[in-house]
Amino acid sequence: MKKVHLLVIKAFIRPFFVTFLIVMFVLLMLFLFKYIDDLIGKGFEWYVILELMWYASATNVAMALPLAMLLSSIMTFGSLGENYELVAIKAAGISLQKAMMPLIILISMLSVAAFLFSDYMLPVANLKMGSLLWDVRNQKSTKLIQEGIFNSTFENYAIKVEKKDPDGQTLHNVLIYQNNGSNGTSSVIKAKSGKMYKTYDDQYLVMILKDGVRYEEKTGSKVYNPRQIFSRFFFKETEQKFDISNFKMKRTDEDLFKNNAAMLNLKQLKYYQDSTGRIADSNASAIYRTLLPSYRVFFSNYKIAQHPKVKASNKQVLEVIPEDNRSQTIEYAMSQARTLSESLTIRKEEQEGYYKLIRRYIVEYHRKFTLALSCLVLFFIGAPLGAIIRKGGLGLPVVVSIIFFLIFHIISTIGEKAAREGSITPLLGMWIAIAVLSPLGAFLTYKAASDSVLFDLDYYKQYFQRLFKRFKKSS
């Protein structure tokens, strides 16, 4: 390998890893901001949060890798152009294509690695993150008792504490409403002070209340009862126990999420697509069988009417039916039509659900290939673009790369959404962004190889000055 190739590879690897880590960090922060309300105040162990962030980082590779590829390629060749190293390379008789060749091989290897990652590791990461995120979002808050508000965390209870001491255990002015609908008893407890603590096994929350009164009313039936029982008990100290065993985080079986399209590899996606297609075909056959009896009735009547031995009649259908049976016949026909319409509506919704699921499997199938190809396409946009603008660092290259990545991301998002909705085919929806930007990459590569002044402002300034002088002379 030539020294020039080593120079280009070394110049690319460092900004690639830096930009990849920066983009991953930004995406991870966006993930945390999105689910911050589901994470805080629920008493998770530190390793649960760390595990969720690890799986979220793996799922963000699909967006971080193409962006890092585009940004690092612009920075690399922009820096080489700014330091006149590209000029020295071309002066040594090495064309831009030859200088890019080791990077093309490296990016191709990274694209293959991205494809393998999306087929083998990404489905597992999506499955792990999806199940863990489901458990996290459904976990109840550990902030059981808060000051100044009614807390209805416990079933059939409403608890209000006027003030809590800094130790988090001493309570003042406690009010507890209890409504036990099973035996028709409701009660109210008022206490001046109290303490609360959890049992050693974290199964119960115990509240020891002092200097209070308990009001209890047995309602019984909803009918007025003059002998309805109402009791009042004064106490110096009493104990209330609440079950908190269901506040512990419980992991859901991951098998419940395995049918999701984002959690399947290529082989599984193909299998589920074929099996869902067979179910859809079976449902279409059921629709045909539902329509067939009614079709046969009308079609047989039409054939009989067209028979040469049958005399033509100008009478309407109701005129043929005896007058005494017309009302009953109309009601029966309307009932049959209504039943058929409802059955077809249900079948149609089922069929649309199957088609939507098939489209989702196809979209995820193509996504594994588009991730790999998008890295190559964005590299062939970023590398010649950096050689043309000849600016390194984190200034102009970042702005340009973000603009092109936004264009790519918007087109791919719109195409994917249209493919999921069935407006366009999944093949077109998933590949439209690459199809649009590939000619742009080829054009920029050609311009960079021919030393184009595509982004040279002085060139355009001089061009318009000459054009203005010509226009002035002609006038």
**pLDDT for residue 351:** 86
What integer is the mean pLDDT of 56-82?
84
Orientation of helix 96-116 relative to helix 326-389, angle to 10°: 140
Mean pLDDT (whole number) for 169-198: 79
> Is there a contact between 164 and 97 (Cβ–Cβ < 8 Å)?
no
Residues in the chain: 475
User: Can you name the residues that pair with 209 across neighbouring β-strands?
Assistant: 194, 238
Whole-angstrom Cα distance, residue 320 to residue 313? Answer: 10
The DSSP letter of residue 64 is H
Through-space distance between the first and last CA atoms of the chain, rounded to whole angstroms = 60
Which of 439, 454, 430 minimizes the C-alpha distance to 377?
Answer: 439
The yes-or-no verdict on residue 184 having pLDDT over 60 is: no
150-151 β-sheet, strand order:
150-151, 157-164, 170-180, 185-198, 204-218, 229-243
Give the list of residues 6+ apart from residue 202 with CB closer than 8 angstroms, or none: 244, 245, 248
With beta carbons less than 8 A apart as the criterion, state whether 73 and 379 touch: yes
Tell me which residue has tokens 């001491």: 165
Does the structure show a pLDDT above 50 at 310? Answer: no
pLDDT value at residue 100: 79
Distance of CA 52 to the CA centre of its chain: 15
> What is the SS3 assignment for 160?
strand
Query: Distance (Å, rounded) from C-alpha 428 to C-alpha 435?
Result: 9
Burial of 194 (0-12, 13-18, 19+ CB in 10 A): buried
pLDDT at 309: 47
Residue ranges of the domains in the chain?
A: 3-139+365-469, 150-247, 270-362
Cα(3)–Cα(5) distance, integer angstroms: 5
- According to DSSP H, which parts of 390-456 are helical? 396-421, 426-449
Percent of the chain with pLDDT over 90: 3
The reported pTM is 0.68
Q: Could you report the per-residue pLDDT of 102-161, keeping only the tens digit for each?
A: 888 888 898 899 899 888 888 888 888 888 877 776 665 555 677 778 777 777 788 888
Whether residue 15 has pLDDT greater than 80: yes
Mean pLDDT for 354-383 is 89
Query: Per residue in 195-219, pLDDT tens?
Result: 887 777 667 788 888 888 888 876 6
Residue 273 one-letter amino acid: Q
Higher-pLDDT residue of 386, 1: 386
Write the single-letter amino acid at 274. D
159, β-bridge pairs: 151, 176
Find tokens 């859901």 and name the residue.
252
* Token reading at 3: 């020294």
Write out the two tokens for 172.
């003042």
* Alpha-carbon radius of gyration of the chain: 36
What residues form DSSP beta bridges with 158? 177
Contact between 247 and 142 under an 8 Å Cβ cutoff? The reply is yes
Kindly give the pairing relationship between strand 185-198 and strand 204-218.
Answer: antiparallel
Residue 297 has pLDDT above 70, yes or no: no
Tell me which residue of 222, 212, 223, 224 sits closest to 187, measured CA to CA.
212
Q: Between 320 and 84, whose confidence is greater? A: 84
| pLDDT band of 295, cuts 50, 70, 90 | low
The pLDDT value recorded for residue 394 is 67
What's residue 414's pLDDT? 92
**How far is Cα 9 from Cα 250, in angstroms, rounded to an integer?**
48
User: According to the model, what pLDDT value does residue 241 have?
Assistant: 82
Distance CA 327, CA 323 (A): 8
- pLDDT tier at 77, thresholds 50, 70, 90: confident
Find out whether 74 and 385 touch, Cβ atoms under 8 Å: yes
| Beta pairing partners, 150 | 160
